[in-house]
A and B are shown apart, each in its own frame.
Chain A
């Protein structure tokens, strides 16, 4: 990746993180932790790789994205707004009664959302359906998905993995947001799904392990996935929940809690500082 492009992507990621904090703050509820951990993945997908059309969100040839861990709607909405699907001003209305920005992604309400999600485990199956339809129609669009590591406790996830490998869906790339935390605590303490990479390999997936908060590593993984034929790719993205906001990092208490005014201000000033270090807006 060129230096300038990398810098731009880094700035975009900071902007998305600021939107996440502000949207959840204004909503008074929502899920900042898992939204911040997958921000870098969304940034690389939407601002470097995905073929999407903001003027025709339902373009049949577009690449698809499914936020299988639907509670991270703030990250998806912030990315879509930053991309231009709707105004970033709308993000302040997240979860409000008259807003189209539903608490969990709703494809019939929000332009750019390819699948309604929120019930864990279902999004990844839907993405298998999209990839299968793409093969059937001989289209060359690609399907990208983010799943949670807690989400992997759902049996349906493994049914989806089995089906994708069976049908050799090399047009499907899944990112596991491997942040190690779920609602009730550490995934290994609540109900360990580990060792995830070796399980994915055993399910006949192409498995790539990366630092999931490193834009270059994410970009490389996408390129490798595109070059892989005959099998779907699972990118095990080792991430930090709450990434980018010091007091949220690695704290499961920030899974589903909105910051108060003071916390919001502290988070935003940290992110502003990060933007400054990148040379400013």
Chain B
């Protein structure tokens, strides 16, 4: 199976949809890593390197958006969501400007660079900003659709993208993407695994392992973290009675937080999370880090078994 990183698909999508002359792309000295250089090669006149100045970049993006541009601004997720956080709030979200933040190298799969360059908290921070839409795609195909959707809606979008090459979850032919709507990848009646980003393919692997144990797990891909798809979550709660969330993020405030908020207010059922347990990451190979922090199909299986025991 061919693998592609979501950041790579992001760069390609920018080059593809970038024929719209209204689109501009900004970067902060990381264009080869964020892959905005793919856009730059095709449309150099609409690409601006702002240098190592993320806060400046975000407010420049806001200014261009006030003049009618659709602006993509890219850097690593840690700098996008935190170095420029208050600029995102006051220059972009508050005036509801048309800026799309292409935040790459999210999560711990950044690997060897270590905790200073990883993010376990970006979705929590971005979720709490009014007017912000958050998309965390699980593969290259979904990333392309996410970029298109981000262009189509007017307003702030945070695209959470990764460094690591990932297997394709979706098929080009029958893929349809609707912002704010989760995608059920596998039906099942015993438990539902709700995943986002690179945890989606791991959840499908976990579902296979559960099947071998006679457990029938439903798997849902939540690409839009905000607004979250309330309907698909409540339906899963009603029909399977137990939920496991899986995300490459702190257990606080990300997908787990969003799903738990929906459940307790609408249809409480037991929930177990596969997420990072409120600690910083560290240097290491991505696979070693997944093991260390329990972001594995094996841990999803374990949490599924546990949560099923908690069912009434």
Contact = CB atoms under 8 A, between A and B. Distances in A.
B117 A103 contact: yes
A117 interface: yes
Interface in A174-204: 182-184, 190-191, 193
Contact of A95 (B32, B52, B79, B283): B283
A39 interface: no
A190 B49 contact: yes
B55 interface: yes
A97 B113 CA distance: 11
A258 to B, nearest CB: 10
Contacts of A153: 29, 51-53
B178 interface: no
Interface stretch (B153-161, B284-292, B304-312): B284-292
Contacts of A120: 52
Interface stretch (A24-32, A45-53, A84-92): A24-32
A97 B289 contact: yes
Interface string B264-294: 0000000000000000001111001100100
Contacts of A116: 116
Contact of A29 (B52, B56, B112, B282): B112
Contacts of B116: 70, 102-104, 106, 116-119
A184 B32 contact: yes
Interface string A138-156: 0000000000001101110
B83 interface: yes
B52 A154 contact: yes
Nearest to A103: B114
A184 B53 contact: no
A99 interface: yes
Given A116-B116, A150-B51, A102 B29 contact: no
Contacts of A117: 116
B51 A97 contact: no
A102 B53 contact: no
Nearest to B50: A191
B5 interface: no
Contacts of A106: 114-116
Contacts of A29: 111-113
Interface of A: 27-30, 70, 95-97, 99, 101-104, 106, 116-121, 150-151, 153-155, 182-184, 190-191, 193
11 contacts: A29-B111, A29-B112, A30-B112, A97-B284, A102-B114, A102-B283, A153-B29, A153-B51, A155-B56, A184-B29, A190-B51
Given A97-B292, A106-B115, A150-B52, 4 more contacts: A70-B116, A96-B284, A104-B113, A118-B114
Interface of B: 27, 29-33, 49-53, 55-56, 78-79, 83, 111-117, 282-285, 288-289, 292
- The 3 A-B residue pairs with the shortest CB-CB distance in the complex, in nearest-first order: A191-B51, A118-B116, A97-B284
